[in-house]
Chains A and B, each alone.
Chain A
Amino acid sequence: MDTSEKDIEKLKDYKYGFTTDIENIKAPKGLNEDVIKFISNIKKEPQWMLDFRLKAFERLKLLKEPNWQKPKYPKIDYQDLYYYSAPKSMKDKPKSLDELDPKLLETYKKLGIPLQEQARLNGIAVDAVFDSVSVATTFKGELTKHGIIFCSMSEAIQKHPNLVKKYLGTVIPVTDHFFATLNSAVFTDGSFVYIPEGIKCPMELSTYFRINASETGQFERTLIIADKGSYVSYLEGCTAPMRDENQLHAANVELIALDDAEIKYSTVQNWYPGDENGKGGIYNFVTKRGLCRGKNSKISWTQVETGSAITWKYPSCILKGDNSIGEFYSIAITNNHQKADTGTKMIHLGKNTKSKIISKGISAGFSDMTYRGLVDVNSKAKNSSNYTQCDSLLMGNKCGAHTVPYIKNKNFDSNIAHEATTSKISEEQLHYCQQRGLNSEEAVGLIVNGFCKEVLQQLPMEFAVEAQKLVGISLEGSVG
């Protein structure tokens, strides 16, 4: 087989595995104060933003990379990475979609992002992030009518500095762990959402992230604020081209829900997982944290994790307001040599707080999957409750499935219940499906979808269909 044929073979496996030839502006390699100033400067940031970054960088120097996680990885040379990369044609920002580089648009088309007309049909407002710069934001008009701010982080820093200043870093402080602090120092772009008091966002907001340039890390930062009595549902999807080297993705996502507000955050993560021998792929080390600051607020995380060579993240909820609710629904699938260490943290601080965790892990091939979670009920969190269920499904005896829950109950009024099971697809189930005319792969797909049903039904319509397909694709070739 010659190389081009091989490439085509490869492309079949990972349909998002193309790169786009666009000239990039890159910051010089390495991590130092000059690079941070370069990033800040090119984005025309105000002084306070630069101070924020430098403070984080000072802190970063004192921090060590954590190493308690299950999947180990070769040491990352942080001086050998590009921390900023932007398509050149973006230097002068286009004012409308028509002005966009046609190559960019084509990329998004391949990705299947519902930009332009597609967007209108699907009723989704998209803020697409290409490497480090937000490309275009659709449906702005409709959103502005309601007073909703949905823009890129860089734009928010320019146009809504007061909001950003007030909330940025309040959930994930610059003094947090290594990767979060790294992000605070060098983050490039991301999404910013503000829903004003009493507004129910009329459509699902969506961002599509994509890492394109090689040897870059993507450090995006997302901040969502739901003011009193508001509601927003936010979708995030991720893909990356195929490359042999590992790429680092260390994003920070902060959610803040004030009194009676609700945020629903859904992720479909399909970064390039590396080839079947475990070469290449994304290191997905993301910090996601939500703060239920007000009374009766609610934050709900839903994630479908099928990609990345290593996934290492724990979307968490801090339930500070009385009667607040935190939810976490997760499907994590690992195949071949993928590794995942994911789960959630539910920190109960307020009275009558409730949380629910449903986690489904599926491992196949040579992969390794760990659910790690913390439920911590503080002594002041009277009458709180938590329910946790984590189920694992194993396919073959070369893979591993692990469950590591931490349970801390310091309040005698509160109830915590935890359940976990590990099993395989039974012969009877397979036999039953095959009897009815499904081949073994379809049968497995069906059973796995059933296994994940509780999580899939939490996803918004458009996502649910895609996620279901993704579940099937990820497990292709793992049976038989």
Chain B
Amino acid sequence: MIEQLQLDFDKIIKTLNISEKEIQLKKSFLRKFIKNGFPNRKQEDWKFLDISQIIKKNIGDLSFFNDYSLPNKIDTSIFVDGLEHNKIIFINGRIEKIDFNYEDQNQIEINDETGKNIIFDTKNSLIDLNNAFTNKVFKILVKKNYSFKKPLIIYHSTNDKIRSKNINLSLNFELEENSCLRLIDYFSDNADKNFVNILYNFNLKKYSILKNYKLDKFRNNNLKYSFNNIEQDDNSISETFILSAGSDYLKNEVNCNLNGEYSSAFINGVLSLKENQQHEIRSTINHLVENTKSYQLIKSVLGKNSKSAYQGRIFVDSKAQKTDGYQLSKAILLDETSEFNAKPELEIYADDVKCSHGSASGSLNEESIFYLMSRGLNYQQSKELLINGFLLDVVEKITDPEIRNLIKNIIGLKE
């Protein structure tokens, strides 16, 4: 693999128009990745689902170079209906189109930041991989007091031209004071057996609001990893909703630093898994100053041979008095081969705080099924109704009514 990495890296460097210093920076990330390799179960954060093994088993050998010289044809049938929106379209990891037609162009800036990698202090080798191989990084800046009129949908689509590829993409967002962005990540795949590695970095200034909805609904055989880093200033709000249902493997990671007072973070997730799927959500919320708040609700429904994991960590610094942190994970196991793992973690150094977490897992309640059947539903209908109700609870947490309805339609939930 090391040879392949080096070879593909040299090819990418040739296509890039960046300075020698930036090349050196990328090289250092490559060296770091070569040294550590893909994460495996020996690392605490990867204990439940071992990405290194899963890549070996599901894909085999990966190649890391993608030829982005020619544009791909945009398939308009994948576009979301019934909701006016701005678009960024990625096909096989190549940015094909950026369309902000609904917005005031003076209020938004899009800058090429390729090569200007933002370095996280982290042991995560997938971030090193991303930093080494991304060919284009844009920064989207929303100016002071501007709210996006329409949501921005980022389409992540693949076509059948690629296989066994590693795709790395990265975006930076900055929300200036009192601005607002609604962002939907929409996945639709036609390709098989690729590993997609997505890295977002958000910088939220005072009073800004970010709503990020990640929708992976359609069944596909790709493996995906997504990392959101969110920095929050005073009174800012971040809301993350994760629908995790489509890919063979998907791990969503959210790292949220509450750096400003009265900032708050919300993470809600639905994992609805069928045969052989393995999905995970891992969240870290760092309460670093006084009067911050976080809320997390994660629910899983697990079918045959599927496996889900939730690792949630709430960290409260000794300065962060009056923190309010809450975390709840629930799972329904539908089959004897399904498996649920959880590690809800609290690390607290301040005394005047309110932190709690809960976790519950089990099968569908037979009594409830009996109740519904006695009212005339058949077994299958009763089961579906109960599962719908279980998941609806999370979807109802979405604060934007337009997008809440869209997501309900996508999941097929009825009230």
Contact = CB atoms under 8 A, between A and B. Distances in A.
Given A400-B349, A411-B333, A418-B358, A405 B321 contact: no
A68 to B, nearest CB: 8
A405 to B, nearest CB: 6
Interface string B342-355: 11111111111111
Contacts of A420: 344, 346, 356-358
Given A397-B351, A399-B349, A402-B346, A407 B339 contact: no
Contacts of A419: 356-358
Interface string A175-210: 000000000000000000000000000000000000
Interface string B153-176: 000000000000000000000000
A397 B341 CA distance: 32
B229 interface: no
B348 A421 contact: no
A415 B343 contact: no
A402 B355 contact: no
B363 interface: yes
A280 to B, nearest CB: 25
Interface in A417-467: 417-424
Among A394, A408, A409, A424, the one with the most B-chain Cβ atoms within 10 Å of its Cβ is: A409
Nearest to B317: A397
Nearest to B344: A405
Interface residues of A, number: 34
B396 interface: no
Nearest to B311: A406
Interface of A is mostly: strand
Contacts of A104: none
B335 interface: yes
A353 interface: no
Interface string A382-411: 000000000010111111111111111111
28 contacts: A396-B351, A397-B318, A399-B351, A400-B349, A401-B348, A402-B347, A404-B345, A407-B342, A408-B341, A409-B340, A411-B336, A412-B333, A412-B336, A412-B362, A412-B363, A413-B363, A414-B362, A414-B363, A415-B360, A415-B362, A417-B358, A417-B359, A418-B358, A418-B359, A420-B344, A420-B357, A422-B356, A424-B353
A248 B262 CA distance: 46
A476 B117 CA distance: 52
B413 interface: no
A416 interface: yes
Contacts of A392: 346, 348
Contact of B333 (A68, A409, A421, A423): A409
Interface of B is mostly: strand
B356 A404 contact: no
A214 interface: no
A400 B348 contact: yes
B361 A421 contact: no
A401 B352 CA distance: 12
B373 interface: no
B347 to A, nearest CB: 5
A418 B344 contact: yes
Contacts of A404: 343, 345-346
B343 A418 contact: no
A314 to B, nearest CB: 16
B347 A405 contact: no
B344 A409 contact: no
Contacts of B361: 407, 409, 415-416
Nearest to B363: A412
B334 interface: yes
Nearest to A407: B342
B360 A417 contact: yes
Nearest to A389: B358
Nearest to B340: A409
Contacts of B353: 394, 422-424
Contacts of A417: 358-360
B341 A407 contact: yes
A379 interface: yes
Contacts of B355: 421-423
Nearest to A368: B349
A447 to B, nearest CB: 14
Given A412-B334, A422-B353, A407 B363 contact: no
B343 A405 contact: yes
B309 to A, nearest CB: 9
B273 to A, nearest CB: 13
Given A395-B351, A424-B352, A407 B346 contact: no
Contacts of A422: 346, 348, 353-356
B358 A409 contact: no
A421 B346 CA distance: 9
A240 B334 CA distance: 53
